[in-house]
A and B are shown apart, each in its own frame.
Chain A
């Protein structure tokens, strides 16, 4: 298995533009997580899906952030409009229900200028 695949690896965009981050979880995993890593807060959970259904989106910072999981093999995290303070590394992770160990993708480094 190729593991969790995220794209793009790097994204540079101008303030106000829409940004879409993509994730393909490990085949067979039924839980998917979007995390954001910053120096100040470490790894913050943004949203968590189970069986393609959003379970907990309490970590989504603002209405500018949205996430979808249209099927078991694909998820997106969208920021619209983007702001410089959104600059961070965004990780997607997947796991099987009942197992605490989550497998992470390589992340997308987002820079909003």
Chain B
């Protein structure tokens, strides 16, 4: 079973506060994870990634945390800005499959209120 799950379809936060988007996965052999951001009427764009040899990766306001024992990762956005309002997808290459094929979650719609 190789799935990536995002159990929160939506999240609303105030501008300036922290946004935390969560993602769970089913296969402990997954070794690389990506977050994509999608605005309406546009294709998803790559945001940040993390390898399973790390537990944290930071890029400006965006930080991804990986908890391998819980098979859970999260994306933190601090501080949140209205321009961050978008759908966020987590993704992972399947274990034993093509290295650049990706399995995506169902996405979380983030709304940052001014």
- Interface residues of chain A, those whose CB is within 8 Å of chain B, are 4, 31, 33, 35, 40-45, 48, 50, 55-56, 91, 93, 95-107
Q: How far is the CA of A99 from the CA of B91 in the complex (A)?
A: 14
Closest 6 CB pairs of A and B: A104-B43, A42-B106, A43-B104, A101-B46, A104-B44, A95-B100
Contact-residue bracket for chain B: 20 to 34
Chain A residue numbers with a CB within 8 Å of B43 are 4, 91, 93, 104-107
Chain A residue numbers with a CB within 8 Å of B34 are 100-101
Sampled A-B contacts (30; CB under 8 Å): A4-B43, A33-B102, A41-B106, A42-B6, A42-B89, A42-B104, A42-B106, A43-B91, A45-B102, A45-B104, A50-B98, A55-B98, A56-B97, A91-B43, A91-B44, A93-B43, A95-B100, A97-B99, A98-B100, A99-B100, A100-B102, A101-B34, A101-B46, A102-B100, A102-B102, A103-B46, A104-B45, A106-B42, A106-B43, A107-B42
